[in-house]
Amino acid sequence: MAGHSRPAGGIRPGRRHRQLSEWVLVVLAASGLLWLLLRFGGSPDCDPDACVARWIPEVLKAHGAAAMAALVVLGSLWQEHVTRAWRARRNRAAGALLVLGALLLVGTGWGLYYLGGESARAFTSTLHWMLGIACIPIFLMHLMRGHRARHPPDLLHD
C-alpha cells in the first residue's frame, strides 16, 4: 500500500505502526494522569471517597488494558525500530531512557500487584507514577529529535 510502508531497512516504523504505538501510549499516559487527578486532585463536586470508589477502578482497568497493549507495541518496536536505530547510532540517549523507563514501569507495575505490604505498595505506586510522568517529556523529546533528524532546517531559507 502506498504511503503505509517504510523503506526496507529504515529506522522509522511505518505510518500505521507509528500511529498505533502513539495511540496506545497516549491512552496509557492519559489513564495514568487521570488516575493521579482522581486520586490526589479530586473534584469539588465529588466526595473524594465516592470518586475513588466510583471512577478509579474503571480508570485502572483502562490503564491495565493499555499497559498490556503497550507491552505488545514495545515488543514490536524493539524488533522493528529500537535495534535498527541503536545500530545506526540514532537518537540513542532518549531511546535508551525510554527503554529504561519502560522496563522500570513494567517492573513497578508488576510490583503494584505482587509486592506485599502497604508500605511497599505505597512506595511502588509513587515510584511508578513518577516514572510515568518522567517518561512523557522523554518520549516527546525522542519524537522531536527523530523528526529533526529526518527534516533538518533549511539554513538557506531560515
What count of other Cβ atoms lies within 10 Å of the Cβ of residue 77? 21
Nearest C-alpha neighbor of 10 from the set 76, 71, 95, 83:
83
pLDDT of residue 42: 61
Q: What is the dihedral of CA 139, 140, 145, 146, to 10 degrees?
A: 70
pTM above threshold 0.75: yes
What count of other Cβ atoms lies within 10 Å of the Cβ of residue 144? 12
pLDDT of residue 7: 47
Give me the residues of the chain with pLDDT under 50, please: 1-4, 6-7, 158
pLDDT digits 0-9 by tens, 121-142: 999 999 999 999 999 999 898 8
Angle formed by the axes of helices 92-114 and 48-77, nearest 10°: 130
Q: Which residue is associated with the grid cell 529504515?
A: 10
